Structure 1
């Protein structure tokens, strides 16, 4: 059977995603990834260069899977869809938490590409008519704040599900998340209304 390089890359990626999600970058071991992928360590270094670059590739790919964009004219609906996506893919939050814990705020591999992707989302929000009377820089900063606020509203629920359950005094994580989804969507609707006041020039 001929060697299938693309299949090997896929198996390495799948094994690495599981390893990094469970153990983070520092705790992950290339030999465990190689064993799970049924590949040799040399293939991992050949295709990805280093463990750090492999982690960055996994995180970047997981972030790119979040195809849902924030529609400037339907923010609450977009946020509900994003909430559901994160609930179905808890590995993304775990990877981001590992990165935050281990990078200690220092720029990591692939940051430039991810920054560019977020800039695209910000431009999409700003182009929805936010603050037409504002200078472009101020409009972009307002869109950045709105995007990060929305992301924070969603992500914290999955970063600390136990705290979510306890604070809300619910019997299960599922019940707490269902309640939080409604609250997050309503909060997003309020934020969108505030952005609407920026659009129209109306007082706060």
Structure 2
């Protein structure tokens, strides 16, 4: 059977995603990734260069996946937040990857950060163009939309960053019950935060 480079890359990527989500960058082992991917370590270094570059590629791809899956609709912000909540519930590995990045990555901006910053900037401008924060002076609208986006991300992400605390604090028996409550609350809060302000 002929060697399928693309299939090997996919297997490496899937194995690396699981490994990094579980162990972070420092704790991940290229040997374990290679074993799980049924590939050799040389293929990993050939395709990705280093463990750090592989981690960056995995994180970039997961962020791109959520970006193309969910867009913030200025006319239905709360519904968009609900969809994003659902996406994170189906893909808990992204929160873990972001937490590991926060714990382990250097503070120096890199190319990935510049790309992500541009993506967030575009989302904020999209919301402003759709009328979000129109009660504010023009020069304050983008900043308000950025703050709103970050607030939404915090409302969503914390549920998946600390699921045990979520379950205990809400006094629910299961994660599923706690997350169902949290989703309803997060969507309601998003609706209130995004509602047009009465300036009279």
**Is TM-score (shorter-chain normalized) higher than 0.5?**
yes
> Contact 2:128–2:134 (CA<8 Å) still a contact in 1?
no
Flag structure 1 segments of 5+ consecutive residues without an equivalent: none
- Secondary structure at 1:65's aligned position in 2? helix
Post-superposition offset of 1:105: 4.3
Counterpart for residue 81 of structure 1: 83
Counterpart for residue 40 of structure 1: 40
Runs of 4+ in structure 1 over 6 Å off: none
Q: Give the Cα–Cα distance (whole angstroms) in 1 for the partners of residues 141 and 106 of structure 2.
A: 30
2:124 to 100, 122, 125: 122
Equivalent pairs, count: 198
Higher deviation after alignment, 111-120 or 52-61: 111-120
Post-superposition offset of 1:109: 6.3
> Contact 1:76–1:189 (CA<8 Å) still a contact in 2?
yes
Q: Give the Cα–Cα distance (whole angstroms) in 1 for the partners of residues 98 and 13 of structure 2.
A: 17
1:145-173 CA deviation, whole Å, 9 max, x = no partner? 01000111000011111111111111111
Counting only pairs closer than 5 Å after superposition, residues 39-188 of structure 1 correspond to structure 2 as 39-66=39-66, 67-103=69-105, 105-107=107-109, 110-132=112-134, 134=136, 136-188=138-190
Counterpart for residue 19 of structure 2: 19
Q: Give the Cα–Cα distance (whole angstroms) in 2 for the partners of residues 133 and 171 of structure 1.
A: 43
RMSD: 1.8
Post-superposition offset of 1:114: 1.6
Flag structure 2 segments of 5+ consecutive residues without an equivalent: none
> Contact 1:16–1:54 (CA<8 Å) still a contact in 2?
yes
Counterpart for residue 199 of structure 2: 202
Counterpart for residue 194 of structure 2: 192
Counterpart for residue 28 of structure 1: 28
Q: Give the Cα–Cα distance (whole angstroms) in 2 for the partners of residues 108 and 166 of structure 1.
A: 38
Q: Give the Cα–Cα distance (whole angstroms) in 2 for the partners of residues 170 and 139 of structure 1.
A: 39
TM-score normalised by L of structure 1: 0.90
Q: Give the Cα–Cα distance (whole angstroms) in 1 for the partners of residues 149 and 13 of structure 2.
A: 29
Higher deviation after alignment, 69-78 or 130-139: 130-139
> Contact 1:76–1:185 (CA<8 Å) still a contact in 2?
yes
TM-score normalised by L of structure 2: 0.91
- Secondary structure at 2:121's aligned position in 1? helix
Higher deviation after alignment, 110-119 or 26-35: 110-119
